[in-house]
Amino acid sequence: MSSLDLATIRAAHERIRPFIKRTPVLTSEALDTACGAKLSFKCENLQAAGAFKSRGACNAVFSLTDAEAANGVVTHSSGNHAAALARAAQLRGITAHIVMPAGAPQSKVQNVGSFGGWITFCEPNLTAREAACAQVAARTGATIVHPFDDLRVAAGQGTAVIELLEDAPDLDFILCPVGGGGLLCGTAVAAKALQPGIRVIGVEPALADDVAQSFKAGRRISIPTPATIADGLRTNCTGEKNFPIIQQYVDDIVTVSEEAIVNAMRELWEKLHLVIEPSAAVPYAALLEKKFDFAGKQVGLILTGGNVDLASVPWLKP
């Protein structure tokens, strides 16, 4: 796929419909009152394999020709894309090779294994991950499905926003976590096509601010491996294919503190009664830190995943 537009996102939606859940959009009067805005939460933590990544992975896997699929697929991922790709491959009856960084959350390692993924561990940095992925691809002939810098993946991720805007059609803002940028690209392209006046805001941890830096500089900037609690957003640099799309369609990128992420995660657990992972709490953290004037506005937030190691819930640590 050489371009990303609403037609390709709609085609992806039709392709993956049998393999994903249409996740609910939840609201909370208590959270609306606290924030002074009308909030709509797209609950991708309830998605198959526990995260929005199932959408992009299924679109990529089921877009392959039989010849391309014959040798399986391979990726590198800290967890959610890994599990999603393993699941998609299992559904198609092909092999998934998964390169994961040492120290990945145990819950995410177990999730990959539950879908039959063949795991290779590597050093926890992007260079090691990409090298190991390339080695597996060379050895097996597997097709590389990049966790975010793949427009087939971005098209699949954008299907969440088609559903969100069907259930909450009058949004003024969409707040979307950003790591490598696949979800943000799909979100922005779909949202702007369906509702041109909507503002799409990417939100990332201040400790992993490569996209914010890149957006302001007008060029891709790499940073050292981030130490944020939001492990799904620990990217070094936004995707090469994704960055021009972000520049064209996204209104702004803001960053949030680690404290705000933990506070947002806990508040959503308590008020929505949902298990979400730190990366999913990042958009609500932007509300807690008042990154924009949301007063009286209708705001959509994408809760990206719920794969949490319950032994490491941050507010339970001594």
- 111: closest CA among 181, 188, 45, 29? 45
Q: What are the C-alpha distances in Å from 13 to residues 9, 92, 301?
A: 6, 17, 20
CA angle, 283 then 285 then 286, to 5°: 70
pLDDT bucket at 141, cuts 50 / 70 / 90: very high
pLDDT bucket at 318, cuts 50 / 70 / 90: low
Give tens-digit pLDDT for 197-218.
Answer: 999 999 999 999 999 999 999 9
Tell me which residue has tokens 């339970």.
316
- Average pLDDT taken over every residue of the chain: 94
Q: Is residue 74 within 8 Å of 136, Cβ to Cβ?
A: yes
- 46: closest CA among 231, 223, 274? 274
Could you say which of 3.40.366.10, 3.40.50.2300, 3.40.640.10, 3.40.50.1100 is the CATH number of the domain covering 54-144?
3.40.50.1100
- Segment 266-271 shows an average pLDDT of 96
Tell me which residue has tokens 């499905």.
145
Among the ranges given (21-30, 98-107, 180-189, 258-267), the one the predictor scored with the smallest mean pLDDT: 98-107
CATH topology classification for 6-52+157-316? Rossmann fold (3.40.50)
Give me the residue spans of the domains in the chain: 6-52+157-316, 54-144
- Return the pLDDT at 1: 62
**Farthest CA pair distance, the chain:** 56
- Residues with Cβ < 8 Å from 138, sequence gap 6 or more? none
Three-state secondary structure call for residue 84: helix
- 249: closest CA among 306, 191, 209? 191
- Return the pLDDT at 226: 87
Give tens-digit pLDDT for 270-313.
Answer: 999 999 999 999 999 999 999 999 999 999 999 999 988 787 88
Alpha-carbon distance 112 to 119, whole Å?
Answer: 8
**Domains 6-52+157-316 and 54-144 belong to one CATH topology:** yes
Give tens-digit pLDDT for 78-111.
Answer: 778 999 999 999 999 999 999 998 887 777 788 8
- Return the pLDDT at 2: 64
Q: What percent of the chain has pLDDT over 70?
A: 99
Answer yes or no: is pLDDT of 131 > 90: yes
The enclosing H or E element of 299 equals strand 298-303
- Return the pLDDT at 167: 98
Answer yes or no: is pLDDT of 69 > 70: yes
Exposed, middle or buried by CB within 10 Å (0-12, 13-18, 19+), for 56?
A: buried
